[in-house]
Amino acid sequence: MDCIFCGIAQGSVPAALAYEGERVLAFSDLNPQAPTHLLIIPRKHYASIQDVPAEEIGIVGEIVTVAQDLARERGIWPGGYRLVVNAGQEGGQTVGHLHVHLLAGRQMHWPPG
Ligand code: 5GP
Ligand code: ZN
């Protein structure tokens, strides 16, 4: 399968890693939209959050736990941050491997574009 984030998870595609766990990985976004812009992914390939079966949905909690840890370690909290999951074409998803964006370091606005 030709998936860039699987390549990062397997080490064949370079990335600036922020966290490496057994099931979850975090790395810097190539095109950052905030002073801190990390992508947190499961090592296992899911095409989108919609494709995570109910019996495996715990992986999403593991990703959120990694986000909390990174926010604490990097002094992002208590300032604040934004977690974003784009899903599908109208959701703005461009890479077909589930990822959670962790954005921080500037004032966020609402609604998003
Ligand atoms: P999406 O639009 O699918 O939610 O977000 C995909 C994100 O992946 C984008 O923010 C984009 O900059 C990032 N991205 C795309 N290709 C690469 C890559 O090869 N390496 C890294 N680190 N980020 C990437
Ligand atoms: Zn993948």
Q: Kindly state if the Cβ of 94 falls inside 6 Å of ligand 1.
A: yes
Q: Kindly state if the Cβ of 93 falls inside 6 Å of ligand 1.
A: yes
- Catalytic residue (choose from 37, 97, 99, 101): 99
45 is catalytic: no
- pLDDT tens for the chain, 113 residues long, are 799 999 999 999 999 999 999 999 999 999 999 999 999 999 999 999 999 999 999 999 999 999 999 999 999 999 999 999 999 999 999 999 999 999 999 999 999 98
Quote the pTM value: 0.98
Q: Kindly state if the Cβ of 47 falls inside 6 Å of ligand 1.
A: no
Say if domain 4-104 classifies as CATH 1.10.150.20: no
Got the DSSP string for the chain?
---HHHHHHHTSS---EEEE-SSEEEEE-SS-SSSEEEEEEESS--SSGGGS-GGGTHHHHHHHHHHHHHHHHTT-TTT--EEE---TTTTT--SSS--EEEEESS---SS--
Domain boundaries, the chain: 4-104
